[in-house]
Amino acid sequence: MDLYEYQGKQLFARHGIPVSEGRLATTPEEARAAAEELGGEVVVKAQVLTGGRGKAGGIKLAATPAEAEARAREILGLVIRGHAVRRLWVERASGIAQEYYLSVTFDRGEKKPLFMLTTQGGIDIEEVAAHSPEALARLHVDPLVGFQPFQARWLCFTAGIDDPAEQKQVVAIVEKLYTAFVACDAMLCEINPLIVTPAGDVKALDSKFTVDDNALFRHPDIAGMRDLEAVPAEERRAREKDVTYVKLDGEVGILGNGAGLVMSTLDVIAQAGGRPANFCDLGGGGDAEGVVDALEVITGDPDVKAILFNIFGGITRCDEVARGILAALGQMAITDPIVVRLDGTNAGEGRRLLVEAAPPNLHVEETMLSAARRVVELAK
């Protein structure tokens, strides 16, 4: 789960990483009031779950509350890389002498957290890595040994931060960032830029914070930060019903049991010349309630023109799934054509049940490829 900049900064502050004081605003008037409270020059920042806000005009300085209101009005109208701006973060403006970059992320290949620090901050880290890799200090932390203080000093020396007062502050921030990373079950904590002010103070001017979805149950406060309005309506509905669903941009609705089977179903739809409208995994079972929940989510997408059920009965028996599908269709009025491919344990019995009792818009196919071809044809 990705957090907004201001939410990441809240977590930074909780772990003692210096950030600027600020206020959240959702209207130009609130931005004005925030600027009045903060006093002096402020920066008005679009809160969207994507980077490059500065370049897109989503970050503006304002010398007075009236100016903050005007800048807020402009920024609230923006759509940045497909993300409409609905929230603003108004914070006390900082003077900038240097822009550094600091992050800790999870390196899956090494199975260890990886720190990166460079004095060439403010720009995309990919650019630094590509054009001046020698300027990028990289260091893995062994999760069993834990973070060692000398590692922070090594990062500073290697990145070329040689002012002692500055070093001291960066070392402290590196250490606190690691604590925040572990305590929050984060996948990424990034500060770009980490600035040095003209007075020599080091602080986080931006934050990019990603928390492992599978650990959210341990962090109800972070889970509560999720902005439900920022996800597609179908995915919001799916989350409420506990259905594993990802919206895609095609017209063939997909429903299968098991993530691997559903993923290969997406490929077969593409091979048959169609485009999947979603990923949807029923999980192991195939009871009527689960099918109804999933079908409600899938048919809630107006782009869906036809639906493919792809079921492989391993532990689940196909006749049970067939009964589940029939019961579900009995409870809902679906007019879109539906193609069902059933295979595995008791497949013959399952198909027979469907053929005997199914409504006219339901078509039974024996193989995955024939089912994919049929549903793509019906979606046209």
Residues taking part in catalysis: 101, 190
| C-beta separation of 319 from 293 below 8 A | no
d(CA 209, CA 3): 6
Contact between 160 and ligand GDP per CB under 6 A:
no
Using CB under 5 A as the binding criterion, the count of chain residues that bind Mn ion stands at: 2
Residue at shortest CB range from ligand GDP: 54
Residue selected from 9, 32, 53, 203 as contacting ligand GDP according to rule CB under 6 A: 53
Per-residue contact string for residues 199-238; x = within reach of ligand GDP by CB under 6 A: ------xx--------------------------------
d(CA 325, CA 330): 8
Closest to ligand GDP by CB, 93 vs 135, is: 93
Residue selected from 1, 49, 59, 334 as contacting ligand GDP according to rule CB under 6 A: 59
Per-residue contact string for residues 75-114; x = within reach of ligand GDP by CB under 6 A: ------------------xx-x--x---------------
Contact between 18 and ligand GDP per CB under 6 A:
no
| C-beta separation of 230 from 247 below 8 A | no
Question: Closest Cα to residue 342, out of 359, 361, 357, 355?
Answer: 355
Contact between 91 and Mn ion per CB under 5 A:
no
Per-residue contact string for residues 180-209; x = within reach of Mn ion by CB under 5 A: ------------x-------------x---
Closest to Mn ion by CB, 206 vs 319, is: 206
- Token output for 30: 């609130």
Strand order through the sheet with 22-25: 22-25, 87-92, 42-47, 59-62
d(CA 287, CA 36): 57
- What pairing do the DSSP bridges indicate for beta strands 112-118 and 137-140? antiparallel
| C-beta separation of 292 from 328 below 8 A | yes
Contact between 47 and Mn ion per CB under 5 A:
no
| C-beta separation of 302 from 328 below 8 A | no
- Which amino acid does the sequence have at 220? P
Positions that interact with ligand GDP (CB under 6 A):
43, 51-54, 59, 93-94, 96, 99, 122, 192-193, 205-206
Positions that interact with Mn ion (CB under 5 A):
192, 206
